[in-house]
Amino acid sequence: MTVNVGQLITEAEYTTLRSGINLVMGTPTGTGTGAAGYNQTITAPAISPGDKITAAAWNALKTDVDKAYTHQVGSAPNPALATVNTDSGITKAVHDALETVVNFVKDAGNRFSLGAGQFSTVSASSKTKASGWQGTQIHDVSFTWSSANAAKAFFNAGGKLVFVSSLSYTGTEQKTIDWRTMVSTVGTVTQDYVNVTRSGTAGTITSDGYYDLTTTARNILSRGGTTPYSENRYKIEARSITNGIRIRMLYEDNDIGDQRAGYLPGPAVDETVKGTLTSAMSYIRPTGTNVQVTAPSIAVNAGTTF
């Protein structure tokens, strides 16, 4: 809201700024890229029309704006927003500087950002499978928040779920080596509010983030083996549940056997997978003095074969 030199900063200007920061920090609203709200309590008081804007109210608003900006960027606004000592200290320059930061933090391009030092990475569930398995192995975990708003706030504030697999093996069994390559070339898979990414170079991923999910499971990652093990699949499935997400990491050893070089002619051989398979899920939770969201509860579901 444009103000002029010499103009009093009134309830209207203050409320516009307060509404902007409440959109970012307050009760979650909207979905997808239009979602907002970290489910935090702001300190800036509501002001009635006609009431004077006090230095205390303005400084409380500044504190809320500083918290939102630091949460997103990892450091306070620079130049720093002014703390006023008197009611008359709320000038055009002070107003405009704070307005600039409010407009920054409520922009959709910044709202879901998570600055350095503003989060904790927490292990949710890690399972290992010993040498000598075949068939499909399943790691099935539910992430559940205390309420729908708590779940939305987690992702609105930049929270993410993280999935990674590895296969430790040093031998020469080709099927096991193929499985090791399958999981290692995918790397780390990360799911946020509207997207899925991987750190590796292989595997098909989707853009099914938290707000895209339904109660029908869908693959957010799929990676197949290479000939003669192309039937095998490493997959990650996700679906929405009440106040949360259910994730299944699937290791589908669908190969039914192949004739091996040096043993021809002869029967097809379906080797077991050697080494130690590790399936791990974690989450990145916004935490700290600026924004702290509720952590999910973790449940390993029946059907997990690890």
The predicted structure's pLDDT at residue 1:
55
The predicted structure's pLDDT at residue 267:
61
Indicate the residue type of 133. Answer: W
d(CA 58, CA 96): 13
| Residue 170 tokens, joined | 């040093």
| Residue 176 tokens, joined | 């096991």
**Residue carrying structure tokens 């920090």:** 25
| Residue 218 tokens, joined | 């869908």
> Which helix (H) or strand (E) covers residue 145, if one does?
none
The predicted structure's pLDDT at residue 260:
57
In the sheet that holds 119-129, the strands lie side by side as 119-129, 276-286, 160-168, 189-191, 196-198
Q: Is 221 exposed, middle or buried (CB count within 10 Å of its CB: 0-12, 13-18, 19+)?
A: buried
Per-residue pLDDT of the chain (306 residues; tens, 9 = 90+): 555 555 567 899 999 999 999 999 999 999 999 999 999 999 999 999 989 999 999 999 999 999 999 999 999 999 999 999 999 899 999 999 999 999 999 999 999 999 999 999 999 999 999 989 999 999 999 999 999 999 999 999 999 999 999 999 999 999 999 999 999 999 999 999 999 999 999 999 999 999 999 999 999 999 999 999 999 999 999 999 999 999 999 999 998 766 555 555 556 677 899 999 999 999 999 999 999 999 999 999 999 999
- Among the residues of 128-287, which ranges form H helices? 148-156, 174-186
The predicted structure's pLDDT at residue 125:
98
According to DSSP, residue 261 is labeled: T
Do 31 and 194 form a contact (C-beta atoms < 8 A)?
no
Do 87 and 59 form a contact (C-beta atoms < 8 A)?
no
Distances (CA, A) of 145 to 175, 251, 265, 298: 40, 27, 57, 9
Q: Is 245 exposed, middle or buried (CB count within 10 Å of its CB: 0-12, 13-18, 19+)?
A: buried
